Amino acid sequence: HDIAELKRLDLAHHLPAQADHKVIAELGGSRIITRADGCYIHDGEGHTILDGMAGLWCVNVGYGREELAKAAYEQMLELPYYNTFFKTATPPTVRLAAKIAEKMGGDLSHVFFNSSGSEANDTVFRLARHYWKLKGEPQRTVFISRWNAYHGSTVAGVSLGGMKHMHVQGDLPIPGVEHVRQPYGFGEGFGEDPDAFAEACVQAIEDKILEVGPEKVAAFIGEPVQGAGGVIIPPEGYWPKVEALCRKYGILLVCDEVICGFGRLGHWFGHQGYGIKPDMIAMAKGLSSGYLPISAVGVADHIVAELKEKGGDFIHGFTYSGHPTCAAVAIANIEIMEREGLIERTRTDTGPYLAKALARLNDHPLVGETRSRGLLGAVEIVREKGTNLRFLDKEGEAGPIVRDICIRNGLMVRGIRDTIVCCPPLIITHAQIDELVDIIGRSLTEAEPILRALKPGTPS
């Protein structure tokens, strides 16, 4: 490889076997993001970059929203902080809980606040087990999750997650978490009929339930669409079948809506687009569009009723649970989404527009598949069209190379394994969607000779 060319493309760090370590060191700095407005971020060297990742799946209403800054400022003057430990609450927390309950609908009318998505899933883990104990079924402790899922970085979060490279760090998962196959059509279900593949994935869950013993399973947890896992959009029949399975064996159904919630998939919550009714929902990110850290767990009435009847208080909480300033910002954020119709626009306008725009890439020699739901999209990079054959001897290296070229070309995306992922702010325009897709296309073309020069890959 031509080191000068790699240096120009800032790619030497992808080739540890061949690259000169001095070059790696020289190129190893971080990009400093200094400001942002609308859908664009700016770095310390004067580059303007279209934010195809909404920060990191967060900034749904876009950057530079003065009213969110004002909401924080005014709340800080009124009451910057108070805890939730002395049977106390604050007006923003109460109002936000009501708003979230309204958006969740049905019997999901209770909310437990936390600060991060990881804390929300940790809360789910503990609350579900506590619930079953109160119900007189203390043996129901096992959570079933999917391989390649991401549910956070706490001990429970990593354990619930299905990322093996995270499990090895910290000797996880903890006992009581089981993983099953993910509904990854382009990967494990390649070439299969989607209905048959959905059936097979659901069968794998049922097999796991029977292996563990149905009486021991507390809950099944999954994102409506796996985000960090590479935008794994399940076949249509999958979720209703999973729900039916949970009901058959009396297992709680938990949706991790940390990415999918607050409009990302064109609904307030992603599960609503699949017509299912979870017993608990974890939410974060889009709840405040990332302006301040806040998360929540939505809890179904029947769980709260059990707690109230038999358990008294759930002794659980964090110093910053229900932080009034964060809650005030979250309310203002939801009001923007309501006023500007961002959820509906994603479902009926920009979401379908992104799907069509991404489809233009299907002719590219490196593209195996494009897929999206709402404003969450993915491009699969393959070595040979018509296959899911990857480029390198180790799966997962093409994505970061193309990502880095995209960034150099003015677009922030994520490269997860051999997949390019995008998740722009919900305010994105058609012209900006075209810009996003054009940059991905151009970057793939630039990446092609570099990737073709690498070692042949193996099917995923």
145 forms part of the interface with ligand PMP (CB under 6 A)? no
Rounded to 5, what percent of the chain is helix, strand, coil? 45, 15, 40
Choose among 215, 157, 217, 206: nearest CA to 181.
206
Of 51, 178, 223, 404, the residue at the interface with ligand PMP (CB under 6 A) is: 223
Name the residue with the smallest CB distance to ligand PMP: 117
320 forms part of the interface with ligand PMP (CB under 6 A)? no
264 forms part of the interface with ligand PMP (CB under 6 A)? no
Choose among 220, 219, 208, 149: nearest CA to 183.
149
Q: Cα–Cα distance between 107 and 301 in angstroms, integer?
A: 6
Of 127, 258, 357, 398, the residue at the interface with ligand PMP (CB under 6 A) is: 258
To ligand PMP, the closest distance from the beta carbon of 232 in angstroms equals 11
Q: How many helices (H) and strands (E) does the chain have?
A: 16, 15
The nearer residue to ligand PMP, 68 or 454, going by C-beta atoms, is 68
- Alpha-carbon separation of residue 20 from 15, 25, 187, 239, 288 (angstroms): 9, 9, 34, 48, 44
The nearer residue to ligand PMP, 121 or 333, going by C-beta atoms, is 121
Task: State the residue for tokens 């990737």.
Answer: 451
321 forms part of the interface with ligand PMP (CB under 6 A)? no
59 forms part of the interface with ligand PMP (CB under 6 A)? no
- The side-by-side arrangement of strands in the sheet containing 419-422 is 367-373, 376-381, 419-422, 414-416
354 forms part of the interface with ligand PMP (CB under 6 A)? no
Q: Cα–Cα distance between 343 and 295 in angstroms, integer?
A: 19
Give Cβ neighbours of residue 313 (< 8 Å, ≥ 6 apart). none
**Interacting stretch for ligand PMP, rule CB under 6 A, among 61-69, 220-228, 301-309, 317-325?**
220-228
182 forms part of the interface with ligand PMP (CB under 6 A)? no
The nearer residue to ligand PMP, 117 or 374, going by C-beta atoms, is 117
Q: Is 431 left (phi over 0), alpha (psi -120 to 50) or beta?
A: alpha
Of 198, 225, 228, 300, the residue at the interface with ligand PMP (CB under 6 A) is: 228
List the Cα angle 230/234/236 in 5-degree steps: 150
118 forms part of the interface with ligand PMP (CB under 6 A)? yes
Of 75, 90, 116, 289, the residue at the interface with ligand PMP (CB under 6 A) is: 116
51 forms part of the interface with ligand PMP (CB under 6 A)? no
284 forms part of the interface with ligand PMP (CB under 6 A)? yes
15 forms part of the interface with ligand PMP (CB under 6 A)? no
The answer to whether 187 and 371 have CB atoms below 8 angstroms apart is no
150 forms part of the interface with ligand PMP (CB under 6 A)? yes
The nearer residue to ligand PMP, 263 or 457, going by C-beta atoms, is 263
Of 127, 142, 144, 259, the residue at the interface with ligand PMP (CB under 6 A) is: 259
To ligand PMP, the closest distance from the beta carbon of 434 in angstroms equals 27
Q: Residue 38's beta-bridge partner residues?
A: 63
The string of DSSP codes covering 155-179 is HHHHHHS--HHHHTTTT-PPTTEEE
Of 224, 227, 351, 368, the residue at the interface with ligand PMP (CB under 6 A) is: 227
Task: State the residue for tokens 């859908």.
Answer: 39
To ligand PMP, the closest distance from the beta carbon of 118 in angstroms equals 3
List the Cα angle 214/258/428 in 5-degree steps: 140
Of 103, 129, 140, 151, the residue at the interface with ligand PMP (CB under 6 A) is: 151
Neighbours of 106 (CB within 10 A): 11
**Interacting stretch for ligand PMP, rule CB under 6 A, among 15-23, 67-75, 116-124, 403-411?**
116-124
The nearer residue to ligand PMP, 121 or 123, going by C-beta atoms, is 121
Q: Which residues bind ligand PMP (CB under 6 A)?
A: 116-118, 121, 150-153, 223, 227-228, 256, 258-259, 284
